[in-house]
Amino acid sequence: MSVPSGRHFLQIPGPTNVPDRILRAIERPTIDHRGPEFGRLGMRLLAGLKEVFKTASPVMIFPASGTGAWEAALVNTLSPGDRVLMFETGQFAALWQQLAGRLGLEVEMVPGDWRHGVDPQAVEARLREDREGRVKAVCIVHNETSTGVTTRVPEVRAAIDRSCHSALFFVDTISSLASIDYRHDEWQVDVTVAGSQKGLMLPPGLSFNAVSEKALAAAGAARLPRSYWDWEAMLTANATGYFPYTPATNLLFGLDAAIDMLLDEGLDQVFARHARHGEATRQAVRAWGLEILCSEPREFSNSLTAVLMPAGHDADDFRRSVLEHFDMSLGNGLGRLHGRVFRIGHLGAFNDLMLAGTLAGIEMGLAVAGVPHQRGGLQAAIDHLADGRLVQSQQGTMKSAAAV
Ligand SMILES: *Cc1c(COP(=O)(O)O)cnc(C)c1O
Domains in the chain, please, with CATH?
9-15+267-399 (3.90.1150.10), 22-264 (3.40.640.10)
Q: Residue 404 has what pLDDT?
A: 63
Residues 6+ apart with CB under 8 A from 158: 120
Best CA proximity match to 111, nearest among 86, 80, 81: 86
Q: How confident is the model at residue 95 (pLDDT cuts 50, 70, 90)?
A: very high
Q: What share of the chain in percent tops pLDDT 90?
A: 95
- State residue 144 phi and psi, 5-degree precision: -75, 110
- State residue 35 phi and psi, 5-degree precision: -90, 175
- Residue-wise pLDDT for 104-163, tens only, equals 999 999 999 999 999 999 999 999 999 999 999 999 999 999 999 999 999 999 999 999
Q: Does 71 sit in the ligand 1 pocket, CB within 6 Å? A: no
Tell me the sheet residues that pair with 192.
Answer: 171, 210
pLDDT reading at 1 higher than 70: no
- Residue-wise pLDDT for 204-240, tens only, equals 999 999 999 999 999 999 999 999 999 999 999 999 9
Closest ligand 1 atom to Cα of 142? 13
Tell me the sheet residues that pair with 41.
Answer: none
Q: What is the mean pLDDT of residues 2-6?
A: 85
Distance of alpha carbon 217 from the chain centroid: 27
Higher pLDDT, 403 or 33: 33
Ligand 1 pocket: which of 99, 144, 145, 209 to mutate (most atoms <8 Å of CB)?
145
Instruction: Report how far ligand 1's centroid is from the alpha carbon of 142 (Å).
Output: 11
Closest ligand 1 atom to Cα of 95? 10
Instruction: Report how far ligand 1's centroid is from the alpha carbon of 242 (Å).
Output: 26
pLDDT reading at 327 higher than 60: yes
- Residue-wise pLDDT for 250-285, tens only, equals 999 999 999 999 999 999 999 999 999 999 999 999
**pTM score of the predicted model:** 0.97
Instruction: Report how far ligand 1's centroid is from the alpha carbon of 333 (Å).
Output: 14
Q: Is the bond preceding residue 15 a cis peptide, omega within 30 degrees?
A: yes
Q: Residue 247 has what pLDDT?
A: 98
